[in-house]
Amino acid sequence: MSDFAFYFKMGWEHIISRDALDHQLFVLALACVYSIRDIKKVLILVTAFTIGHSLTLALSVYDIIRFPSKWVEFLIPCTIFITALNNVIQVDNKGKSARINYYLALFFGLIHGMGFANAIRIMLASDQTIGWGLFGFNIGLEAGQIFCVAIILIVSILFLNLLKINRRDWVVFLSAGVFALSLKMALERLPF
């Protein structure tokens, strides 16, 4: 059980730590189009991201895929600004934006998984319980994402319901901020 706890903590910190701004921005971009009434949809959304992330980690640990890290580090913020841009483009069509975000979360989860694959590959490959380690990591990642989503939805309640901020303005404000930060990250990480 200590292996599970170790990898759970690693997965949790992968999303919650100060160094996880890219993941936090991605979760914010995915979740900001939802309200607390949509909690089930948001949980399915972060689970889709975890599935993509998990699949890439597993394929990487078993050395089935490898991708140059400089390209992965560039593509990660690209996935974030594409998601944020989609939110702004689809802001008046909440249902369509939300449906597209499911596909973005799953596909972009594959890219984000490659970002951590090199670090965890060495650890898990030397471990006798690769499956248990991957499971623990992904459960920790999922728990961290749910924690982030809970914070996003609570803050949304404060701004939308108590301060009476317009939902459209809220989504555009958050998405524009996420877009700007992630575009800056992408430009700093150009692979050529």
DSSP string, 50-69: HHHHHHHHHHHHTTS----H
The whole-number pLDDT of residue 120 equals 72
pLDDT digits (tens, 9 = 90+) for 10-66: 999 989 998 899 999 999 999 998 888 989 988 998 899 989 988 888 888 777 888
Q: Is the pLDDT of residue 1 over 60?
A: no
Instruction: Give 57's Cβ-side CA count (13 Å radius).
Output: 27
d(CA 138, CA 120): 12
d(CA 79, CA 74): 9
The residues near 52 (Cβ < 8 Å, ≥ 6 apart) are 105, 106, 107, 108, 109, 110, 112, 113
The whole-number pLDDT of residue 178 equals 98
Return the H-helix or E-strand segment holding 93.
Answer: none
What's the farthest any 2 CA atoms get from each other in the chain? Answer: 54
pTM: 0.89
Tokens found for residue 31: 């979740």
pLDDT digits (tens, 9 = 90+) for 133-158: 788 888 999 999 999 999 999 999 99
Helices (H), the chain: 2-16, 21-31, 39-61, 69-89, 94-125, 130-157, 167-188
The whole-number pLDDT of residue 100 equals 79
